[in-house]
Amino acid sequence: MELLIFLIALVMIGGLIVVPAVRRLRGGREAMRGALRAGDPQEYGFVPRERLDVRLPGPDHQLIDALEEVQARQDWQPAARLLALTKAGSELRWQRVQTLAGAAAHELAQAPGRGGMWLRTWRVAAPEDPGAAAVHAEFLVRQALLDPSSPDFRMILEEAQSVCREAARLAPDDPVPYIVELGVARGLGYRQADFEELWSKVTERAPHHMGAHLAALHYWCEKWHGSQDLADTFTHAAAGSAPDKSLLPALPLFGVFEHMPDGNLVRTLYQSEVITKAIEGALYAVRQAPADHPVLPHVRHLLVWFLVRAERYVEAMEQLRHVDGHVGAVPWSYGADPAAEYTVYRALAVAGWEGHGGSPATLPK
């Protein structure tokens, strides 16, 4: 049966090999057959798979322009200017630091020893630039977490910890260096007391920062692996204390996702009370958050994953209308081919929409 599902997936996305997506969809034979019968997603105005942007969860034209200039010329100055003009403490600054660090890490992976040279040059040329230090620290965290079994794992994270503290010295009011250090805490296994001291430094500066809460959630999930009680307490406390127009009511959905068993496609699980409440919380957050909230696309992408599995296709199509074109977000980024992972779910949403009488003409604009 697994071979059959694999072959169906190949046909559905035009012959592309999507082993991670198939693993997650194992057991969904009828849903996959429905996707095969669905109309072409491009009839809905969706972006073809080969043009999906894997760098970001949603559009940030200033960041993309700066990043393309950096990569074309290996010149760090466009990145430095962009971060200098991005408000300290904002969700946007955190996301831009993440993306720039991820770009440097990707370049290094593509060209070991040479890729991402612009980041190293930036650090040497502008040692007192807090943006450079924050990007460098995030870069080191990513490098370490790529291979926790590496003999250099701890050494790289300890260097990242040092750079985080340097970045904090350069920008004392910016929570981003402390948010980056949450990744260090996860990798080095900070004691709970040490983690909570670090978390207090984040919340002093940005108490309702969604990106910070997502980073902290990883610590709770890994530190207490096998028991989600403390992670649930953390996510529900944050959601319950969220101010108006916050995305924090969506945090429990991320907590649920972190504890989902791989390959479980039993519909009743995704229609259970726990998951339904988490989905409703995320939908509430999406409806009342500002349309330009930088982390909003992250929530929409995760909603697509859950809504498709819960067979709530109308709502899944609504989220797809907002995020299509960009796939640099959980859950797609956990796979080897994020665009392929996303494409499978998009096709399933279209199939479900059409199975309930929908068409391109009836999709709300």
Q: How confident is the model at residue 249 (pLDDT cuts 50, 70, 90)?
A: very high
Q: Are 76 and 70 in contact (CB under 8 A)?
A: yes
- Looking at residue 224, what is its pLDDT? 67
| Nearest CA-CA partner of 335 in 15, 63, 4, 25 | 25
Within 8 A by CB and 6+ apart from 128, the residues are 170
Q: pLDDT digits over 90-125, tens only?
A: 999 999 999 999 999 999 999 998 999 999 999 999
Contact present, 146 and 157 (Cβ < 8 Å): no
Give residues with Cβ within 8 angstroms of 259, minimum separation 6. 221, 228, 231
User: Which value, to the nearest 10 degrees, does the dihedral of the CA atoms of residues 334, 335, 336, 342 take?
Assistant: -120
What is the pLDDT at residue 254?
97
pLDDT mean over 286-295 = 96
pLDDT band at 362 (very low <50, low <70, confident <90, very high): confident
Residue 57 CB neighbours (<10 A): 25
Residue 29 has pLDDT above 50, yes or no: no
For the ranges 35-49, 62-76, 95-109, 300-314, which has the lowest average pLDDT? 35-49
| Residue 42, pLDDT score | 81
Average pLDDT over residues 243-258: 96
Structure token digits, residue 365: 């604009």
Band of the pLDDT at 230, cuts 50, 70, 90? confident
When pLDDT is averaged across residues 206-217 and rounded to a whole number, the result is 96
Q: Is the confidence at residue 21, as pLDDT, over 80?
A: no
Domain positions in the chain are 1-60+235-365, 61-223
Give residue 153's pLDDT. Answer: 97
How confident is the model at residue 269, as a pLDDT?
87
Report the pLDDT averaged over residues 217-221: 91
Instruction: Please tell us whether the domain made up of 61-223 is placed in CATH 3.30.450.80.
Output: no
Whether the predicted pLDDT of 30 surpasses 50: no
Give per-residue pLDDT as tens, 309-361.
999 999 999 999 999 999 999 999 988 899 999 999 999 999 999 998 989 88
Distance CA 333, CA 258 (A): 13
Rounded to the nearest integer, the mean pLDDT of the chain is: 88
pLDDT on residue 365? 73
pTM, whole model, 2 decimals?
A: 0.87
